[in-house]
Amino acid sequence: MLLVSRYIRHMPADISCQQFCKGVTKAISRHYWLRFPKNHMAAHPEERLTASAVIYSRVRREIWLVGDCHCLVGGDYYDNPKPYEQELAEMRAARVRELLAQGYKEADLRQSFDPAREVMIPRMLEVMHNQNITYAVIDGFPIPQRLVPVLTLNFQPWEIVLASDGYPQLAPTLAETEALLDEQRASDPLNIGRFKATKSFVIGNNSFDDRSYIRFSV
């Protein structure tokens, strides 16, 4: 995140999405090659520094969804989920139900170590080899442009919300979006119901994943 943020702060204002993908990839790969053999990082995607970014270009009036992030544009919702995320979440949810049937308590499955996640780890490591093949991430390896949605805005006024996938649902304000997250935590802290995730709400945490939210008008 720090490397990506640093790159964004210094990149040209008129940069294109394609140029951004190439430039941020070069910035991450330069960080690797100072420390790790290139062949090792190519063979072990689970060890790569990996991030997503949703970016608004004021000059180009475009929104770029690089990785699993989402946005609201004039009230319309757009996202770019990992294609295997739901499969992994379903695997974990099935295992949670098995463990509950075996006598585990909900609190047992809301610790920093979630025993239900073990069932999906082999598959998760397997699908990581599809990074920047079937889905886009910022990880120091070339990002296929076809996997990065670009939303182009016309010159009418727009209200935009950009967010990370730590929010299951987006609303027009941060307060409303946090309230939706609180409802999810109260009704299904294991994240195995209507909304399924690869993690639960750990006891003491007010979220199950990282979250970022910004709203602005253009």
Q: Could you write out the three-class secondary structure of 143-180?
A: CCHHHCCEEECCCCCCEEEEEECCCCCCCCCHHHHHHH
pLDDT confidence of residue 39:
87
The alpha carbon torsion through 185, 174, 72, 89 (nearest 10 deg) reads -20
User: Are 53 and 165 in contact, with CB atoms under 8 Å apart?
Assistant: no
Tens-place pLDDT, residues 74-110? 999 999 999 999 999 999 999 999 999 999 999 999 9
Which pLDDT belongs to residue 38? 81
Rg of the chain in Å (alpha carbons)? 19
Of 80, 110, 107, residue with least CA distance to 92? 110
pTM of the model: 0.93
* Helix %, strand %, coil % of the chain (to 5): 40, 20, 40
What the block records as the tokens of 187 is: 């009704």
Structure tokens at 60: 């180009």
Residue 78's pLDDT is 98
For residue 24, what pLDDT is reported? 98
Distance between CA atoms of residues 122 and 95, nearest Å:
14
Mean pLDDT on 109-115:
91
Spatial CA neighbour of 117 closest among 81, 97, 89, 98:
89
Q: Dihedral through CA 127, CA 68, CA 9, CA 45, nearest 10?
A: -10
Exposure of 91 by Cβ count < 10 A (0-12 exposed, 13-18 middle, 19+ buried)? buried
Please name every residue paired with 126 in a beta bridge, in sequence order, or none if there are none.
Answer: none
